[in-house]
Chain A
């Protein structure tokens, strides 16, 4: 059994934020970096899948795109228990389509039984990389997964998807498949200091980026939205205010 987990090192904003001089990004001085929260759940789910179903020789492989710095996040996954890590030496903060193009050849080369991605990253919040990657690798995909019951011998999994309004969609998928993992599916484990130290010693395979093609999107400018006029303050008792809100909503709906 082999599971590939695609992870991202995300930028974390502090209390204060300044933009870079070219206004195309946040000034890196104001950023911290961490393993994307969704990806820690995806890694944990891969580890648990191996622990419950796995056998000798099974592998959890972590893949990420970025410069050397993203290895910190990858080593966190190794410390949790992943076996191997592959870094695609490309632009880690690229758009989801570009990232998927860079990840796809590595995923295909590894030909895993399952591919896990986080539903989304906490910095870009586009929730698209996993879906695009499934398309590029020709894998069936299920998004926003909260439960997996996988039968490797039958090459099928019953998967719970979280829908709006608290609904759950229970569906079946043939494996290999790509699943995007939702937070709360499990409780990610913490790495001991020993595991962190051992992960520091592990070799991370670095592969050159494939042809990444035209960017799917580009940042033209980052700025703080100007304060707009036109806010209306409603006075009066709760009943008056409620009546007034109802009127305004009805007005807008016309």
Chain B
């Protein structure tokens, strides 16, 4: 289909200093775990977006010197000519697709822990990082300022030599140039601190020097946070940012505008739980009003109508996307080709970001199982080769995230017939009810996308309302069987802390409940006092606490961990979720594990209390979020009772488990599991993942010994 003319403006070229960008789709700098040291993974990952139509793609933050080393987290680096060589592959591949390449030059100051380089970072003042523990910067004197500015200039030259078209002097997220601009970081009394002019001096001088060095060849981009949400101490739009735009507009080719500091950067990379698309538009519009240069910025845009509106209403010139480009690298192309229902929309879960926050593993995505796998597994999000055993029929039992993905990919790989059989009346599995938890509505996109896609596939048939037992599977007539029957929350308090059940815990009692009993089965939560036992550590406990407290219950949330929902620190959801629970009056009890549950009361001990002094909480209802167990009964029946040999006699050549049914895991990992099996359904042993390419240095034996 052809592009809808109302989206034409998204495909108009735009001038960025000496460079022309072919359209308005810009992949903002974002991490992927590859940096400069996994250069092919890096290059293939970015190039996929260029192939998908992005007009420009950036590196993640790109360190300019060993004294700005973010290890344990993974950044790109332009420390030397070998980094130039490695990152040049990315530039070349982007150029092959007609996209511009951008390098986000980064100096972290006190936030850089330098765990690999063991260098000492320099900063405007000697105050430890608000993002890291135990990291201090050396307070810069005038010589330091000149030297660090030279580091920027040298790195900019290396960026140009690597082939980058756009070079950033990056400040947002509380990095060095923005630290100078911000009283929270800058306590100086010399000409680099105090007044706005003084606080702006370091950044302006650095931009000037970088521009003098490479400005004829590359566009100069500045990424600035326009509100740190910390009152007078933080950067403020009217006081600091708009004057800075006016001060530097002549020497900047493109402004990249966002908000927040680093310690709560979920205000910028907004989880869908708290913010809809386009949350940064007021700040971007304010800058656009005072600047004569193009303004770009993120907003987790997945809808082309919102993108067009942002441009037509004068708020942005270029639509930058981070997470939507991970979820669907072909977002621009699908808009261009009028294939809007093929767009794999970001759900805003921030599981991608969690990997950077954890410090190094490759990026993952709930919606796009191929994210990060472009090079190492050779997966393309839109291309599927016909399976060598495509003349087989496949039965997939269970239409949760893993089953839906597996059936869809098997369909795309041309299997003769794929039957996706589901006990309930619709697709989704756990994703039928998880999106009904507070704020998680957009997560339903996991189901909607797959429903639309499988509906288009003539060889995939969805069969609802049908429960198969082992004999039913055996006699179904498939050559390949995939079991995706999911998992359930333990009803007896079995948990990962004591590795035992909790005495008295029994979700068959009316006062004792599991998440799916509340959300899926509509089981009534009796009384006014609810105690939630959360040994899971992610979204389920806090979400149910929020839901029940919003419904007027007095909620106590108890965990054996030191924090409630520690994984939500990685997804940037923690700060606002804590605020919500605090406002709702939820009592939080950490480091406690129940020793006994009975109707009306929960008795627990502190996990570090060897004397096991018990304390008792009143509880009319107890919600058990202790651990999940796989629904593996069907698989066990097939394997243990009937046996794979007997299945082979029925013509079933393979029987596999995917997703939670094998072992409970993240939704993203369930989708990956289904995708992986479908991608490798024609491998020698589909049950075992094929090896992936590990980008590592392999030594020449003789050299190593010498």
Residues of A within 8 A of B (CB): 15-16, 32, 187, 190, 192-197
Contact = CB atoms under 8 A, between A and B. Distances in A.
Contacts of A194: 475-477
B477 A190 contact: no
A115 to B, nearest CB: 29
B291 to A, nearest CB: 38
Contacts of A193: 393, 395, 417, 419, 476-478
Interface string B419-458: 1000000000000000000000000000000000000001
B507 interface: no
24 contacts: A15-B1, A16-B1, A32-B458, A187-B465, A190-B419, A190-B461, A190-B463, A190-B466, A192-B475, A192-B476, A192-B477, A193-B393, A193-B417, A193-B419, A193-B476, A193-B477, A193-B478, A194-B475, A194-B476, A194-B477, A195-B477, A196-B417, A196-B477, A197-B477
B540 to A, nearest CB: 33
Contacts of A187: 465
B1 to A, nearest CB: 6
B478 to A, nearest CB: 5
A32 B455 CA distance: 13
Nearest to A32: B458
Interface of B: 1, 393, 395, 417, 419, 458, 461, 463, 465-466, 475-478
Contacts of B465: 187
Residue among A192, A195, A196, A197 facing the most chain B CB atoms (10 A cut-off):
A192
A41 B2 CA distance: 38
Contacts of A32: 458
B178 to A, nearest CB: 47
Contacts of A197: 393, 477
Nearest to B472: A192
Contacts of A192: 419, 475-477
Closest 5 CB pairs of A and B: A194-B477, A193-B477, A190-B463, A193-B393, A192-B476
Nearest to B462: A190
A196 B478 CA distance: 11
A193 B475 CA distance: 9
Contacts of B393: 193, 197
A186 to B, nearest CB: 13
Nearest to B421: A190
A196 B419 CA distance: 11
B399 to A, nearest CB: 13
Interface of A is mostly: mixed
A106 to B, nearest CB: 30
A195 B393 CA distance: 12
Nearest to B478: A193
A19 to B, nearest CB: 17
A28 to B, nearest CB: 15
Nearest to B475: A194
A192 B477 CA distance: 7
A207 B504 CA distance: 72
A194 B466 CA distance: 16
Contacts of B476: 192-194
Nearest to A193: B477
A193 B416 CA distance: 11
B526 to A, nearest CB: 36
Residue of A15, A190, A193, A195 with most partner-chain B CB within 10 A:
A193
Nearest to A34: B458
A223 B475 CA distance: 49
Contacts of A190: 419, 461, 463, 466
A127 to B, nearest CB: 27
A196 B466 CA distance: 17
Contacts of A16: 1
Given A193-B476, A193-B478, A194-B475, 15 more contacts: A16-B1, A32-B458, A187-B465, A190-B419, A190-B461, A190-B466, A192-B419, A192-B476, A192-B477, A193-B417, A193-B419, A194-B477, A196-B417, A197-B393, A197-B477
A195 B461 CA distance: 14
Contacts of B419: 190, 192-193
Nearest to A16: B1
B608 to A, nearest CB: 56
A5 to B, nearest CB: 21
B416 to A, nearest CB: 9
Nearest to A197: B477
A157 B59 CA distance: 75
Contacts of A195: 477
A32 B478 CA distance: 25
A7 to B, nearest CB: 18
A115 B638 CA distance: 43
A237 to B, nearest CB: 26
A194 B476 CA distance: 6
A197 B476 CA distance: 10
Nearest to B476: A192
B285 to A, nearest CB: 29
A13 to B, nearest CB: 13
A15 B458 CA distance: 15
B44 to A, nearest CB: 32
A195 B463 CA distance: 14
A195 B1 CA distance: 37
A25 to B, nearest CB: 21
A176 to B, nearest CB: 34
A46 B477 CA distance: 24
A15 B461 CA distance: 20
A197 B478 CA distance: 10
A16 B337 CA distance: 13
B40 to A, nearest CB: 38
A16 B1 CA distance: 8
A32 B457 CA distance: 11
B148 to A, nearest CB: 56
B367 to A, nearest CB: 22
Contacts of B466: 190
Nearest to B461: A190
B3 to A, nearest CB: 13
A190 B1 CA distance: 33
Nearest to B417: A193
A190 to B, nearest CB: 4
A16 B2 CA distance: 10
Contacts of B478: 193
B112 to A, nearest CB: 51
A190 B463 CA distance: 7
Contacts of B395: 193
A190 B395 CA distance: 13
A17 to B, nearest CB: 12
A187 to B, nearest CB: 8
A193 B417 CA distance: 8
A187 B478 CA distance: 24
A240 B357 CA distance: 57
B575 to A, nearest CB: 43
Contacts of A15: 1
A197 B466 CA distance: 19
Contacts of B463: 190
B106 to A, nearest CB: 45
B625 to A, nearest CB: 36
Interface centre among A15, A32, A190 (most CB of B within 10 A): A190
B474 to A, nearest CB: 10
B638 to A, nearest CB: 16
A32 B395 CA distance: 24
